[in-house]
Amino acid sequence: MRISIVGAGTWGTALARMTCLRGPEVRLWAREPEVVQSIRSRRVNELFLSDVELPLQIVVTGDFIEAVEGSEIVLLAVPSQHLRGVLEQLAPHVPANAFFVSATKGLEQGTCLRMSEVIGDVAPRFKARVVAISGPTFALEVVKGYPTALAAAGAEQGLAKIVQTEFSTTNFRIYTNDDIIGVELGGAVKNVIAIASGVGAGLGLGHNPLAALVTRGLAEMSRLSEALGGRRDTLSGLAGMGDLLLTSTAPLSRNRTVGYELGRGKPLGEILASMQTVAEGVPTTRATVTLAQKHSVEMPITFQMDRLLRDETTPQEAIHELMSRPLREE
């Protein structure tokens, strides 16, 4: 099958490299002209993945028409807050028999929509033809060939099985799932909890609070998923607990890094300005709080992270508020 990948950041480039190693040519769309040039001339993505040589099967372009012409699978790997704008330009050129795979983790600011919902909103003809992939994945480990597992979920299980077949390798294992709500919410909200975990590390609080934040954070994620029509058990799997553990504990995690620097007292604006790639948890936090309030879901960790990111509290005060809440059953 012809596969197109839209978004040549670290994750999109890693997925392109991993996919083409199975044999097929992969079209890779890049927004940045310098990325197109560096891949064409030197076979590396100098801006986002400079240490990895990219096979000739990756055909890079900055043109939407060229990127998706004849494609049967269009994988989206652009930041959540840019997805709508990219889709508005891309969707008219996507072949009618194709389907989308969303590899983006986040919620859209303002609308609070999941990525599959954004796709359906911008391109209604593809509303049911969307598969979301999510799980504990660092791009740098994928390109190194480390064993990786994630979940693929969609309304049409046949499409999820196609994704499973077309993208799985000996080191990249995909499990199918029919709960796209839970898979997408797990991938989005775990970034918020990862920021909280980073705050604890930045404050030097040790391992006890990390374990508590991950455990209670998972409870928040599960409550929200269930309220929106997902299943609690999905959040116990790769797209929930698996991704949460990775993002909350590993130094490679961008969202944990944001929290860590906040815990050390650095202003958010300064932290974000120093990062080359997007920390999806920052915009997702406000959208998550909005969804929680709309559906009357209690999410105290998420609420405190929202206040912290909006400079309405300090890391120390946020931890104190969480520990001072009324005692209750687990």
Domain ranges for the chain, please list them. Answer: 3-180, 181-323
Q: How far apart are CA 4 and CA 58, in angstroms?
A: 10
* pLDDT bucket at 21, cuts 50 / 70 / 90: confident
* pLDDT bucket at 278, cuts 50 / 70 / 90: confident
The count of other CB atoms within 10 Å of the CB of residue 106 is 26
3-180 fold: Rossmann fold (3.40.50)
Which are the contacts of 255, defined by CB distance < 8 A and separation ≥ 6? 191, 192, 194, 195, 198, 247, 279, 280, 281, 282
SS3 per-residue string spanning 14-56: HHHHHHHCCCCCEEEECCCHHHHHHHHHHCCECCCECCCCCCC
Token pair in block for residue 115: 């990525």
The pLDDT of residue 237 is 97
pLDDT, average across residues 76-83: 96
The pLDDT of residue 154 is 95
For the chain, give the percent of residues with pLDDT over 90: 95
DSSP three-state, residue 99: strand
Q: Could you report the per-residue pLDDT of 227-268, keeping only the tens digit for each?
A: 999 999 999 999 999 999 999 999 999 999 999 999 999 999
Q: How far apart are CA 115 and CA 130, in angstroms?
A: 10
Q: Model's pTM, two decimal places?
A: 0.95
Centroid of chain to Cα 249: 16
**Confidence check: pLDDT of 307 > 90:** yes
**Confidence check: pLDDT of 118 > 90:** yes
Output the average pLDDT for the chain: 96
pLDDT, average across residues 119-148: 96
Least confident interval from 13-27, 128-142, 160-174, 222-236: 13-27
The pLDDT of residue 24 is 77
Nearest Cα neighbor of 315 from 216, 202, 212, 189 is 202
Active site residue 161: no
- List 105, 144, 190, 294, catalytic entry: 190
**Confidence check: pLDDT of 277 > 90:** no
The pLDDT of residue 297 is 98
The count of other CB atoms within 10 Å of the CB of residue 290 is 16
**Confidence check: pLDDT of 23 > 80:** no
- Pick left, alpha or beta for residue 71 (phi over 0 → left; psi -120 to 50 → alpha; otherwise beta): beta
pLDDT, average across residues 132-152: 96
181-323 fold: N-(1-d-carboxylethyl)-l-norvaline Dehydrogenase; domain 2 (1.10.1040)
Nearest Cα neighbor of 130 from 104, 107, 151, 156 is 156
Q: Could you report the per-residue pLDDT of 162-176, keeping only the tens digit for each?
A: 999 999 999 999 999
